[in-house]
């Protein structure tokens, strides 16, 4: 709540007074009032000054988003095949594990940010369909139902006007990635229920409290202001909604870490060059992984954004971690 108020305040001030920089803001726990501490530094100057990382390079903040855009514009057509090649298909298991942990029920609304070519949204819709099939099978066995099943089905919305509709919105800053995803969905005949939206994780084009689940898979590492993206996740989730993030993390076993480094730095850019004709984008991939916070640090960032019950599971020795939390 406080975080979302602060974000909105910052946005309003940025829009109406381009020359004020909010350096601190908060909400008083007693009065519920917002406070803002500002400095009169020019915004455009500040943006030029601030620097961040793009892989192992240091670049002005404003440049990072542009360079990330170019990376995914360049790799969009070869993105899916590269993932299978680089991970020997293992990325599919990580994504399946995300859906398994999510266990969405029919009617759930998903926002998949940095959704790219749609892998998470496709799995979400398939999972929902399998749940609906299961429900139908149960309903088709009236003789075998117990009294409590009869009672529960009398409360189900399916009896009141068709099955609850699940929707998945795939939101990504890069229209080339979305284009590939949409073409895939059309060719597989799974487009109904899917919406493709161009949007920035740091400033989502959605109203408050719209979604039951927010996912971001292998996306947050590329965002310039991760804290801002986390606050946007808070804002668009309904109270009780769930945040889930799949991202590269830290391999703790020193021997595995050495093998992992060797594979990452010696093989991934080579595969990038051979398959996608793009060494640099895949060098950025492995470098950006090294710059991303480890499991514990990222957990704290999610908590700082206001999520509760934050936890994580590491996969494949820590190559990847799944973090999740709830909006109260």
Ligand X SMILES: C[S@@+](CC[C@H](N)C(=O)[O-])C[C@H]1O[C@@H](n2cnc3c(N)ncnc32)[C@H](O)[C@@H]1O
Binding site for S-adenosyl-L-methionine, by residue number, is 117, 172, 200-201
**Is 200 an interacting residue with respect to ligand X (CB under 6 A)?**
yes
What span, in angstroms and rounded, lies between the C-alpha atoms of 316 and 251? 8
Closest approach, Cβ 315 to ligand LIM22CUA, in A, equals 9
The span of 12-20, 54-62, 75-83, 177-185 binding ligand LIM22CUA (CB under 6 A) equals 75-83
Give the residue, chosen from 54, 72, 124, 211, that forms a contact with ligand X under the rule CB under 6 A.
Answer: 72
How far, in Å, CA of 323 to CA of 321, rounded?
6
Distances (CA, A) of 103 to 108, 110, 321: 10, 12, 18
Nearer to ligand LIM22CUA, 51 or 78 (CB): 78
Total residues contacting ligand LIM22CUA by CB under 6 A comes to 29
Instruction: Report how far residue 269's alpha carbon sits from residue 278's, in angstroms, rounded to the nearest whole number.
Output: 8
Interaction of residue 170 with ligand X, rule CB under 6 A: no
Between 293 and 317, CB nearer to ligand LIM22CUA? 317
**For 240, left (φ over 0), alpha (ψ -120 to 50), or beta?**
left
State the Cα–Cα distance between residues 123 and 119, nearest whole angstrom. 6
| Contact partner at residue 172 from ligand LIM22CUA, ligand X, none, CB < 5 to 8 Å by partner kind | ligand X
Long-range contacts of 20-23 (CB under 8 A, 24+ apart): 21/46
Distances (CA, A) of 262 to 85, 141, 255, 273, 286: 17, 56, 11, 17, 11
Q: Please state the closest distance from residue 32 (CB atom) to ligand X, in A.
A: 31
Query: Strand 57-60 to strand 308-315: parallel, antiparallel, or no bridges (unpaired)?
Result: unpaired
Residue 309 interacts with ligand LIM22CUA (CB under 6 A): yes or no = no
Q: Which does 200 bind (CB under 5 to 8 A by kind): ligand X, ligand LIM22CUA, none?
A: ligand X
Task: Confirm or reject binding of residue 173 to ligand X (CB under 6 A).
Answer: yes
Any idea what DSSP says for residue 199?
-
Q: Which residue has the tokens 């910052």?
A: 10
Chain residues binding ligand X by CB under 6 A are 68, 72, 113-116, 119-120, 172-174, 177, 200-202, 217-219, 222-223
Chain residues binding ligand LIM22CUA by CB under 6 A are 71, 75, 79, 82-83, 86-88, 90-91, 218, 251, 256, 259-260, 262-264, 267-268, 281-282, 284-286, 289, 316-317, 319
């Amino acid at each position: 709540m406080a975080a979302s108020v602060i974000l909105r305040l910052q946005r309003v001030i940025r829009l109406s007074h381009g020359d004020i920089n909010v350096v601190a803001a908060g909400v008083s726990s007693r009065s519920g009032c917002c406070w803002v501490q500002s400095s009169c530094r020019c915004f455009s100057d500040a943006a030029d000054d601030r620097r961040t990382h793009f892989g192992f390079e240091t670049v002005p903040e404003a440049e990072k988003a542009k360079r990330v855009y170019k990376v995914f514009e360049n790799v969009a057509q070869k993105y899916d095949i590269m993932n299978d090649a680089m991970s020997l298909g293992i990325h599919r298991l990580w994504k399946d594990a995300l859906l398994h942990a999510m266990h969405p029920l029919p009617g759930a609304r998903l926002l998949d940010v940095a959704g790219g070519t749609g892998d998470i949204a496709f799995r979400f819709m398939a999972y929902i369909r399998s749940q609906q099939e299961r429900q139908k099978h149960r309903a088709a066995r009236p003789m075998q139902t117990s009294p409590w099943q009869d009672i529960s089905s009398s409360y189900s919305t399916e009896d009141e006007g068709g099955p609850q509709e699940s929707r998945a919105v795939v939101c990504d800053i890069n229209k080339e990635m979305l284009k590939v995803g949409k073409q895939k969905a059309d060719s597989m005949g799974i487009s109904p229920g899917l919406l493709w939206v161009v949007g920035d994780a740091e400033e989502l084009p959605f109203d408050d409290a719209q979604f039951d689940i927010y996912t971001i898979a292998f996306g947050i590492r590329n965002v310039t202001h991760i804290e801002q993206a986390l606050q946007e996740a808070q804002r668009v989730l309904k109270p009780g909604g769930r945040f889930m993030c799949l991202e590269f993390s830290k391999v703790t076993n020193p021997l595995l870490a050495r093998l992992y480094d060797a594979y990452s730095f010696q093989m991934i850019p080579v595969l990038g060059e051979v398959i996608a004709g793009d060494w640099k984008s895949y060098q950025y991939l492995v470098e950006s992984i090294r710059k991303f916070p480890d499991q514990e640090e990222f957990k704290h960032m999610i908590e700082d954004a206001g999520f509760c019950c934050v936890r994580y599971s590491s996969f494949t020795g820590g190559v990847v971690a799944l973090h999740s939390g709830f909006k109260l």
